[in-house]
Amino acid sequence: MSLAFQAEGLVKRFGKTTALAGIDLAAEQGTVLGVLGPNGAGKTTAVRILATLLRADEGRATVGGYDVVRDAGDVRRLIGLTGQYASVDEDLTGTQNLVLIGELLDLRRRDAKARAAELLEWFDLTEAANRPAKTYSGGMRRRLDLAASLVGRPAVIYLDEPTTGLDPAKREDMWGVVRSLVNDGSTVLLTTQYLDEADALADDISVIDHGKVIAHGTPAQLKQIAGGQTILVRPLDPARLPEVATILGTVAGREPESPGRGVVTVPVDDDRAFPTVVRRIEDAGIGVMELSLRLPSLDEVFFTLTGKPAVEVAA
Amino acid sequence: MTTTIERNPAVTGTAPSGQPPARTFRLARHSLALARRSLIKTIRTPEQLLDVTLQPVMFVVIFVYLLGGAISGSQSAYLKFLLPAIMVQSVMFAAVATGFSLNTDVKKGVFDRFRSLPIARSAPLIGSVLGDLARFVVSIAVLLGFGYAIGFRIGTNPLEALAACLLVIFFASAITWIFVLFGVIMREPGAVQGTAFLVLFPLTFGTNMMVPTDTLPGWLQAWVKINPVSDVMDAARALMTGGPVGDTVVKSLLWSVGIIVVFAPLAVRFYRRRV
């Protein structure tokens, strides 16, 4: 496998602020790299450097083997960019926006129109095709933005917080689009503040904070960082909660917690703990409504890594 | 990249992927595509043409009816003197909008999309300037129509009058590059407009637009004589109402080219650098 893009030791300062303090990012072809971090972590700055919009003060980056500074023109042929900043023109219709980009990508006008129609249909915007983009809803705008970045069939697609501000159903739609892009062989760099989004889409995740990568790995590896697994039990009869807590405490060898009404949880390190708990609860004749073994959420991972919640400002 | 990536029809579709066909005159085609964008925007929001249409009409009304009698004894004689010059002034004011909207575009991020495409950095700027030529045409048409209604008549022939209009439009497109530079450098659209007007007032009013140069105090005469806008106004007058053209047309053309040669590369340079 070859790398679709690679950034090494990127540093970027804006006046006294250090946006990037030496960041490495890379993704193999046909995979999704999730770049996860809170507002102001440096996600957008990194994307802008990889998209040739901004020059790094130090470090280097390549896309498809081309240097983002020296071979910027070649890089621009390979990439598609969608973000809150790389937006469409509000006064133009959906079709006009996409045809314009097609023409700028040297498609013949006829081909540009065909491509526009195709993308509008794929993104379910055919009915709105001839309306100015300013009349679009938020979700439609995002879809048009994404369509605009796909006109040239980019091999590498940057999605900078593509679902921020979208309602849950629209997010699911967007996730479906990202998955199909990857199925088609594209490589995606996805920045997000949402841990569930990175978990759902990314093959690899780089967690960044204050301009540095503070963790990198598969979603499963990152979950390992936050400690082992957690057993959760919800008895049918809430009155039997103390009994359940005692069993969990004995098996796990530590104090169980009660994070919600009628639920007890305890973190465990041993793989045999879960079957033991199941057996003991059965022996005690306690009916359960819910009994599960789960990995820590990425929220917990982030908290472990940085000592603070992932999403402080937004959402 | 050496690997060709297979795509399914949802993303692939009609046109062949890979390198686009090598086509000549890329800069010209890209600029024209972007000019069409500016034109579409103008057509879609005609209210933004109010300033380039009503303002010159208002100037004509104020100057001709308020001051015309006092300045030249007769309103119709003054209209003949004033209107070609107002034409120059109004397209220069109309040129500010290009810098203004460019600045807005850069701020909104529309231009980030263009910057991430494999097109020349100058294409979006050239496109804006070309697209906004339409504003000049509208401005001149409205002004001439209004002038005709209140008694202005072309004293030469349609061909020379057309030459006057083209000369004025060419000069204004040169001036536009100054405002494009402002639009690229400044942080706020409002600042672009404010600074542009600071430049425009001495350039347009510091001329023989309203009164003959020899009625002015010496220091002002000196400014009026070196101000290229005076030449353009004189050329427009001569071509529309008759009288000696002299070297005014050549001087206007030279000034226009000179302004473009200086300000267009500067604007592109700063645009390239802008974050």
- The nearest CA of chain B is from the CA of A139 a distance in Å of 18
Relative to beta strand A212-217, strand A204-209 is: antiparallel
Whether B9 is covered by a domain: the verdict is no
Which residue from A53, A77, A132 is facing B112, i.e. has the nearest CB?
A53
- Beta strands A156-160 and A79-82 are parallel
Spatial neighbors of B140 by CB under 8 A, at least 6 apart, are B87, B90, B91, B165, B168, B169
pLDDT tens figures, A254-289: 888 887 788 888 888 777 888 999 999 999 999 999
Q: Is any Cβ of chain B less than 8 angstroms from the Cβ of A283?
A: no
pTM of the model: 0.81
Query: Which two tokens mark A98?
Result: 């996409």
Domains, chain A: 3-218 (3.40.50.300), 229-294 (3.30.70.100)
Count of helices and strands (H, E) across chain A = 11, 13
Domain presence at residue B5: no
Q: Report the C-alpha dihedral over residues A17, A22, A23, A24, rounded to 10 degrees.
A: 170
Q: For residue B77, how many other CB atoms are within 10 A of its CB?
A: 13
The span from the CA of A71 to the CA of A55, in Å, is 13
The closest alpha carbon to A205, from A193, B156, B190, belongs to A193
The alpha-carbon gap from A163 to the nearest alpha carbon of chain B, in Å, equals 18
How is residue A179 written in tokens?
């998955």
On chain A, the residues whose CB falls within 8 A of the CB of B23 are: 106
pLDDT at B226 over 80: yes
What is the number of domains present in chain B?
1
Instruction: Look up the domain containing B34 and give its range.
Output: 28-273
If one counts every other C-beta atom within 10 angstroms of the C-beta of residue B122, the result is: 18
Answer yes or no: do A185 and B23 touch at CB < 8 A: no
pLDDT at A65: 92
CA distances from B108 to A88, A271, B104 (A): 9, 53, 6
- At residue A219, the pLDDT reads 86
Residues 6+ apart with CB under 8 A from A250: A280
Distance from A1 to chain B by nearest Cα, in Å?
A: 11
**Is residue B10 in some structural domain?**
no
In a domain, B132, yes or no: yes
Burial B14-23 (b: 16+ CB within 10 A, else e): ebeeeebeee
Examine residue B7 and state whether it is found in any structural domain, yes or no.
no
Q: Is residue B210 in a domain? A: yes
Average pLDDT of B190-199? 92
Helix (H) or strand (E) holding A170: helix A168-183
Which chain B positions have a beta carbon within 8 Å of A79's beta carbon? 116
The β-bridge partners of A35 are: A191, A206
Contact across the interface for A51 and B275, Cβ inside 8 Å: no
pLDDT over 90 percentage in chain B: 55
Question: What pLDDT shows up at residue A51?
Answer: 93
Query: Checking DSSP bridges between strand A79-82 and strand A32-36, what pairing results, if any?
Result: unpaired
- Which residues in chain B (25-54) have CB-CB distances under 8 A to chain A? 26, 29-30, 33-34, 36-37, 40-41, 44-45
